[in-house]
Amino acid sequence: MIERNYSLNVEGKKRALVDKVLDENCSPLVVLRYDQGVVLATINPFSGNPFSGIKKIREVYPGIVLGATGEIVALDMVYERAVHTAYYGELVLSQKDVKADQIAKEIARVIWQNFVSAGYRPIVCEFVMTDGDAVLTVSYDGSWEEVGDWAVLASESKREAIETQLSESDLAKQKKDHFGSAATLSEATELVYKILGKKNIELISLAKRR
């Protein structure tokens, strides 16, 4: 019982640490489904600098995209792990063997192991992995979830604020329960711009696999 209470106490401190970093230093990542695929967008102050090398939305394998928010070193670590898993993962013999959800779940396992280990600092990163069809988000504690119409990766307060904007948007009201299958790419993009603005925006759309 003492060990369990200690574990809960440590995990609570880790959650508070990650939420504080995400709230103070990291831009939210917004994920929106549309009728032909998915849109990923975030604010990146380095997006206009071709020499910075800092990207928050990157292709890890042909047709598979990773979008993330968090500390730069954590983003790079997750990206490198994703690329390695995609190209050299278990039973990867051809391109059809590479699945976005499998890559995401493999990295989620690593993040979870780090999070529950008392002596380690949590990996301050939340990410989404998608091939246009499958869309999975992974949190800093290693938990993963399939995306419905949208997802917001951010601190708790920022996430709640943006989710309210999304749910109360004219587009959500028009499409009702069919947002992800009925919204066009133009509509989804305009909604992202309305929420995040257009300055230093990093955005990519990925069509469903045919």
Helix (H, G, I), strand (E, B) or coil at 39: strand
Q: Percent of the chain having pLDDT more than 70?
A: 87
Query: In this predicted structure, which of 10-14, 48-52, 171-175 has the lowest mean pLDDT?
Result: 48-52
Distance CA 149, CA 47 (A): 26
Q: Read off the pLDDT of residues 62-74 as tens digits, 9 standing for 90 and up.
A: 999 999 999 999 9
Give the pLDDT of residue 8: 60
Q: Read off the pLDDT of residues 14-40 as tens digits, 9 standing for 90 and up.
A: 999 999 999 998 999 999 999 999 999
Give the pLDDT of residue 53: 61
User: By the 8 A CB rule, do 125 and 68 touch?
Assistant: yes
CATH number, domain at 189?
3.60.20.10
Asked if the structure places residue 10 within a domain, the reply is: no
User: By the 8 A CB rule, do 56 and 66 touch?
Assistant: no
Asked if the structure places residue 12 within a domain, the reply is: no
Alpha helices in 40-129 (DSSP H): 72-88, 100-115
pLDDT band for 47, please (50, 70, 90 cuts).
Answer: low
Q: Read off the pLDDT of residues 172-190 as tens digits, 9 standing for 90 and up.
A: 888 765 666 678 999 999 9
Give the pLDDT of residue 6: 45
Host H or E run for residue 18: helix 2-25
pLDDT band for 118, please (50, 70, 90 cuts).
Answer: confident
User: By the 8 A CB rule, do 31 and 39 touch?
Assistant: yes
Distance CA 6, CA 92 (A): 40
> Which pTM was predicted?
0.87
Asked if the structure places residue 15 within a domain, the reply is: no
Q: Domains in the chain: how many in total?
A: 1
Asked if the structure places residue 178 within a domain, the reply is: yes
Asked if the structure places residue 102 within a domain, the reply is: yes
Helix (H, G, I), strand (E, B) or coil at 32: strand
Asked if the structure places residue 11 within a domain, the reply is: no
Asked if the structure places residue 7 within a domain, the reply is: no
- What tokens were used for 103? 């890559």
Give the pLDDT of residue 183: 87
Asked if the structure places residue 141 within a domain, the reply is: yes
Domain that holds residue 194: 26-207
Give the pLDDT of residue 178: 63
Mean pLDDT (the chain) is 87
